[in-house]
Structure 1
Amino acid sequence: MDSSSAPSWQGPTTQDSQSCIPLSNQLKDADIILLLTPGVVPQMSPLNRDPEKPASDPFEPLGKALARHHPRVRHVPYLPRNGITGTHVVHIRLAAAVVFVISGPPRHGQPSQVALAEITKSLCEHRPQIVMTCCNVQELGALEKSFPTVIQVPSLAPLDLEDAADVLFGKSPKPRPREPHLRNLVVSPTSWPVEVWDAHHDASDIRDLWCQCTPETFHLGRHQFQSLLRRDGYAMHYVVREPGTRLVLGFCATYTTYSDSGGDRLLGSLALLLVRPSHRHRGIGLSLHNHALRQLTRTRGVCRLQLGSTFPRLLYGLPVDSPSVHWFRRRGWPVDPQSSTPGLGQEVCDWLLKFKDWPATGPMPSRLSFRPCEFPEFDAVLEFVEKESRRKDGMMGWYDQYAKLANTMNVRDIVLGFEDGVIIATALTYARNTGSTVAEDLPWASTTGDDVGGVTCVCVSDEVPNNANRRDAVMIRLLDSCIGLLANQGMSKLLIDAVKGGDEGFQSMGFQKWATYRDIWRDV
């Protein structure tokens, strides 16, 4: 059998330049080992997954394991926010050896546990100090320069902590299959503690998670992905972490955006719900989903919720081939794959067009004209978009995209359609490196290719009759003007997003489907 296919287990790793391990060679029976452990959230430990049982100190198994090797062990917690107090100093001076445990790097403004370990080292004087980390040592900096003895423990799992105690006393931990061990860390299904994401520390892990959970078509560069997530005042994201290692196991992204010009009505978006494939079916997604919905519904002004995101755009909705349709339906989302009603699971498409495939449009219909927006017309455009948005649920959040262009040169990225001089249609165009805020919110055109521009928020007035295909003529001419504008900016393709219906018409004009989603909304 190929040994590479067998389960593997990695126990504690050790650096010991002061040769104090095994501790049994350094201590007499009357000597005291002082175990200093951080006060961490009890739920970080797999010991505390059962809500029916009282929480216990995650490091209690370590103290008990040390006591099996040595008769006198004193376990004293420290709180990072309070530092090393006079009580700790007394215990340090009574001890013959000190084991200082670090749970991880500082989070959300916490003091550094490494700094507290350095203070403890100065107080230890001649006493050996062993630093034990329950995270990747590399997250903490160059520990080996400050601490001669460091033990890295894989997790807060009791078996890992017991193995660390064995290593301290020169015993070899027993090898264990890694996969069953990991599964024992969690009880499924259960309620997991949900935290607000750490934009600085979590971004890389979350992008990796995104790439694991989405097709390659949707993979984004690091900077672009982080830019979409970091929207101060409009975004709130959440994570579930693996106990001990602090690895992100699940991630949920939420946004709010204005519905109209009033500033009172907000749209909430459950934009992403990602769980590592190896940790699914354990309640992580449910914990994130329920927490995010509670927060969105408590946000003042939120009147509707979307499964997906309008702006900024990650995925417009649940992909049509997603195996999670039934999961979300059971959570109250109105998903009917056969529906043609907006918001109830109707199919929505992103379409890609190569300009060379665009057919000739023929002569301009009478009374119609199309051109880029001029600056004096901008207020009239906003008024038109707001009026049409109130009539149509499918235009949620569009007003805000137009309004963001105020007082910028990108006002001329708006293409207008007129009938007898009155605005009857609008569309937003965008291209990379033009400074457009629209391009910052819609990443997929630029990621598809450097020569791909975008068209979004296409609005044709309900007052345009459909007699003799009049509405179709307006739409075709509007797109033709968008193509001309983008071609002048060096583009040779365009992506038009979130189109409901009209498949035959788009295909007849040379468009190809790029992505397909479900349009899913619910009222608050």
Structure 2
Amino acid sequence: MPCFVSESQLWLHLTIVACAGKVLPMAGAPLTRLGRSECALVSKRTGAAFQSACNPPTHSLGEASSSSSSSSTAGSTNLASTIRDSPNWLARFSNLQEHDILLLITPVVIPISQDPADTTDPFEPLGRAIASRHGKVRQVPYTQRNGITSTHLGFIKRATIIILCLALRRDHPLQLESAHITLAVCEAKPCIIVICAPHASDLDLPFPTVIHTNGYSPRALEATANLLFRERGRANMSNKAPDSDQHPRPKLWSVTEWNAEKDISSVWDLWTLNVSGISGYFSLDARTLASLLHRPGYAKHYTVCDPRGEEVIGFCATYLSYVDQEGEKLLASIAILLVRSPYQNQGVGLSLFSHVVDQLKKTRGVVRIQLGSTFPRILYGPPKGINLNQNWFRRRGWEMDKDRAGQGRAVYDLVREIPDMKEIDMLFPSPTRPSLNFRPCLDADVASVLAMVDQVCTRESKLGWFDQYSSLTNNSNRNDIMLGVETGQIVAAALTYTPGCGSAIASNLPWAGRVGPDVGGVACICTLETSAEVLGPFTVGLLGACSKKLASQGMRKIFLDGISDNINDFKRLDFKEWAQYKDVWKDL
């Protein structure tokens, strides 16, 4: 019986072969950096093409082969020119179909302005210029440190043509390794290498199709787009201002409620492009993201679509959660605000943000709006490592550069190895108070636990925590609540969870499970200790008890989320920073 292999199966096979037997996670899994030495395709289907790609006909950079369409921008000062196009891949841009996807892979570089307050992506003009000529463009950045990762592989798989930009920067050579890797895994798809450097004549560039761009100024990148689409009459932009239609003015866009079934694929693309692809953290597969967004009755999400093809170009996720056990006050969370790169600075984000804030302010009971989310905890707040235009938010009344609650105070997710039992006792010594002990929650404890949690949450403004305890006390997962009890009084509590426990807290806090399948979490630590100067015996003893419980469940690491106080004390206990956020909210 013949065996039919699907395209996706063939891709997986080629990826395994290319990486010398190392199975690489696709987009949505933790990032894996690829090395050039690992990329050696031997598939019969792609072997010849790959050999041609990595060993093109040799000729000098100024020489055009018989199959090359060497060209340059008009005029004496060339902003963009074709060094080589042996396989005639540039001709493909003249015959694009509507469904073809162009993948633009660009380096994370310092803006030309050198202004620390400038958070714009210098390669955004290239993405916009290409998007103005073709509707389906995906711009994915890569960093000097990580290079091409498994996230990029997922986009390369779906792309029709790949455009990889390499930038020559001070004290950093061109990342030619990234080009070698991209060519090795692109399955003979057209792969255009764009060299952004003042001069290219002294560079060894053994790639089939190479374009040289005089740096990465907006004009040079616009000239590159003209060259790709063979608009030679417009190619020399050195003495002309950019066309006004390439930089459209911001406008008001139509905002609609999202359609989960139709929009999840585009929203996941947006997440990967804007968050996990840049930071190297926060990688989510589409199913997990869909689960986090699906909160009937407690969530409303909104989209802005490209009127040309109904593709989602902007997305905003919002949630509501109860503040306390009274059930009258609500915390509103603006959990995600994402805009596709070619449409940024055109009013998409402002249209979404204004609509969402207006809707939340009209909702009865909302007393606070948070940038980020409590539960489900997608991102606690604006994360470190992802560019955020703070001036844009500041003009709208949001402070995020002060060391104060709600105005930019640092909040951390922490992780550490769980030591063996003997070391746990040394690291988290039991208090010298014989009347204090730690144990799981029992049925008889429920009322006292909720009363203590409500007291602490009110005192410390831990909004949304009460709901998490309440959801566990009503089912069989109540023993996932670890308690500190002294002379019959509950003085401390924390929620524990593992990736597969099935509790509400595990479904609301995804990141421990994304770190690894053997990572258990501890959340919402509440104690009656009033001193915020040091970790008290209730907290230390509680951490020890939680560590033992998670170790007994097969966990090897412990993950703490949303820690804002006593961070140095936690680090002295060998907890390592996994992520950092800004705590940003406004009371209404």
Deviations 1:95-117 (CA, angstroms, capped at 9, x unpaired): xxxxxxxxxxxxxxxxxxxxxxx
Matched, 1:519 2:583: yes
| Conserved 8 A contact 1:320-1:347 | no
Answer with 1 or 2: which has the greater Rg.
Answer: 1
Aligned AA (2:399): P
With over 3 angstroms needed to count, the CA separation of the structure-2 counterparts of 1:182 and 1:221, relative to structure 1, is farther
- Following superposition, the deviation at residue 516 of structure 1 comes to 0.3
Matched, 1:377 2:462: no
Matched, 1:443 2:507: no
- The partner residue of 1:474 within 530, 538, 547 is 538
Deviations 1:319-351 (CA, angstroms, capped at 9, x unpaired): 13433222222221122x241x21121000000
Aligned-partner Cα distance in 1 for 2:548–2:485: 17
Matched, 1:334 2:399: yes
Deviations 1:217-268 (CA, angstroms, capped at 9, x unpaired): 1111221110000111111111111122111111100000111111111100
Aligned-partner Cα distance in 2 for 1:451–1:475: 23
Specify the alignment match of 2:93 in structure 1: 8
Deviations 1:40-96 (CA, angstroms, capped at 9, x unpaired): xxxxxxxxxxxxxxxxxxxxxxxxxxxxxxxxxxxxxxxxxxxxxxxxxxxxxxxxx
Aligned-partner Cα distance in 2 for 1:431–1:182: 55
- Following superposition, the deviation at residue 278 of structure 1 comes to 2.1
- Following superposition, the deviation at residue 417 of structure 1 comes to 1.0
Aligned-partner Cα distance in 2 for 1:271–1:314: 7
Aligned AA (2:412): C
Aligned-partner Cα distance in 2 for 1:386–1:472: 20
With over 3 angstroms needed to count, the CA separation of the structure-2 counterparts of 1:8 and 1:390, relative to structure 1, is same
Aligned-partner Cα distance in 2 for 1:465–1:504: 15
Specify the alignment match of 2:255 in structure 1: 194
Specify the alignment match of 1:414 in structure 2: 481
Aligned AA (1:360): L
With over 3 angstroms needed to count, the CA separation of the structure-2 counterparts of 1:391 and 1:510, relative to structure 1, is same
Matches within 5 A, 1:448-459: 448-459=515-526
Specify the alignment match of 1:223 in structure 2: 287
Deviations 1:447-506 (CA, angstroms, capped at 9, x unpaired): 1100001111001114x5689x6x522211110111111111110101100000322211
Specify the alignment match of 1:324 in structure 2: 389
Aligned residues: CA RMSD: 2.8
| Conserved 8 A contact 1:368-1:418 | yes
Specify the alignment match of 1:492 in structure 2: 556
Aligned-partner Cα distance in 1 for 2:362–2:304: 21
- The partner residue of 2:414 within 323, 335, 351 is 351
Aligned-partner Cα distance in 2 for 1:368–1:6: 76
Aligned AA (1:454): G
| Conserved 8 A contact 1:8-1:176 | no
Aligned-partner Cα distance in 1 for 2:378–2:285: 13
Aligned AA (1:347): A
Aligned AA (1:416): L
Specify the alignment match of 1:156 in structure 2: none
Aligned-partner Cα distance in 2 for 1:405–1:185: 54
Aligned-partner Cα distance in 2 for 1:446–1:424: 29
Aligned-partner Cα distance in 1 for 2:396–2:246: 26
Aligned-partner Cα distance in 1 for 2:531–2:301: 44
Aligned-partner Cα distance in 1 for 2:532–2:356: 42
Aligned-partner Cα distance in 1 for 2:532–2:338: 43
Aligned-partner Cα distance in 1 for 2:370–2:493: 24
- Following superposition, the deviation at residue 519 of structure 1 comes to 0.5
Matches within 5 A, 1:23-38: none
Q: Please, what TM-score do these two structures have when normalized by structure 2?
A: 0.57
Specify the alignment match of 1:387 in structure 2: 455
Matches within 5 A, 1:258-269: 258-269=322-333
Aligned AA (1:326): N
Specify the alignment match of 1:141 in structure 2: none
Aligned-partner Cα distance in 1 for 2:560–2:90: 46
Say which SS state the counterpart of residue 313 (structure 2) adopts: strand
Identity %: 39
With over 3 angstroms needed to count, the CA separation of the structure-2 counterparts of 1:227 and 1:5, relative to structure 1, is same
- Following superposition, the deviation at residue 378 of structure 1 comes to 1.0
Aligned AA (1:368): L
Specify the alignment match of 1:208 in structure 2: 269
Aligned-partner Cα distance in 1 for 2:363–2:95: 45
Say which SS state the counterpart of residue 370 (structure 2) adopts: strand
- The partner residue of 1:399 within 450, 463, 466 is 466
| Conserved 8 A contact 2:250-2:347 | yes
Specify the alignment match of 1:308 in structure 2: 372
Say which SS state the counterpart of residue 220 (structure 1) adopts: coil
Aligned-partner Cα distance in 2 for 1:265–1:175: 59
Deviations 1:147-183 (CA, angstroms, capped at 9, x unpaired): xxxxxxxxxxxxxxxxxxxxxxxxxxx9869999999
Say which SS state the counterpart of residue 297 (structure 1) adopts: helix
Say which SS state the counterpart of residue 324 (structure 2) adopts: coil
- Following superposition, the deviation at residue 310 of structure 1 comes to 0.4
With over 3 angstroms needed to count, the CA separation of the structure-2 counterparts of 1:363 and 1:443, relative to structure 1, is closer
Aligned-partner Cα distance in 2 for 1:370–1:235: 36
With over 3 angstroms needed to count, the CA separation of the structure-2 counterparts of 1:430 and 1:378, relative to structure 1, is same
| Conserved 8 A contact 2:429-2:541 | no
308-317 or 182-191, larger mean C-alpha shift = 182-191
- Following superposition, the deviation at residue 407 of structure 1 comes to 2.9
Aligned-partner Cα distance in 2 for 1:354–1:285: 40
Aligned AA (1:523): D
With over 3 angstroms needed to count, the CA separation of the structure-2 counterparts of 1:192 and 1:425, relative to structure 1, is same
Say which SS state the counterpart of residue 440 (structure 1) adopts: helix
Aligned AA (1:370): F
Matched, 1:360 2:360: no
Aligned length: 359
With over 3 angstroms needed to count, the CA separation of the structure-2 counterparts of 1:237 and 1:344, relative to structure 1, is same
With over 3 angstroms needed to count, the CA separation of the structure-2 counterparts of 1:406 and 1:298, relative to structure 1, is same
- Following superposition, the deviation at residue 410 of structure 1 comes to 0.8
Specify the alignment match of 1:79 in structure 2: none
Aligned-partner Cα distance in 2 for 1:285–1:523: 22
Aligned-partner Cα distance in 2 for 1:232–1:182: 46
Q: Please, what TM-score do these two structures have when normalized by structure 1?
A: 0.64
Say which SS state the counterpart of residue 281 (structure 2) adopts: helix
With over 3 angstroms needed to count, the CA separation of the structure-2 counterparts of 1:185 and 1:483, relative to structure 1, is same
With over 3 angstroms needed to count, the CA separation of the structure-2 counterparts of 1:332 and 1:10, relative to structure 1, is farther
With over 3 angstroms needed to count, the CA separation of the structure-2 counterparts of 1:240 and 1:325, relative to structure 1, is same
Aligned AA (1:330): R
Say which SS state the counterpart of residue 284 (structure 2) adopts: coil
| Conserved 8 A contact 1:9-1:176 | no
Specify the alignment match of 2:299 in structure 1: 235
- Following superposition, the deviation at residue 423 of structure 1 comes to 1.1
Specify the alignment match of 2:47 in structure 1: none
Aligned AA (2:383): P
| Conserved 8 A contact 1:347-1:501 | no
Matches within 5 A, 1:33-112: none
- Following superposition, the deviation at residue 195 of structure 1 comes to 1.1
- The partner residue of 1:432 within 499, 504, 518 is 499
Matches within 5 A, 1:234-253: 234-253=298-317
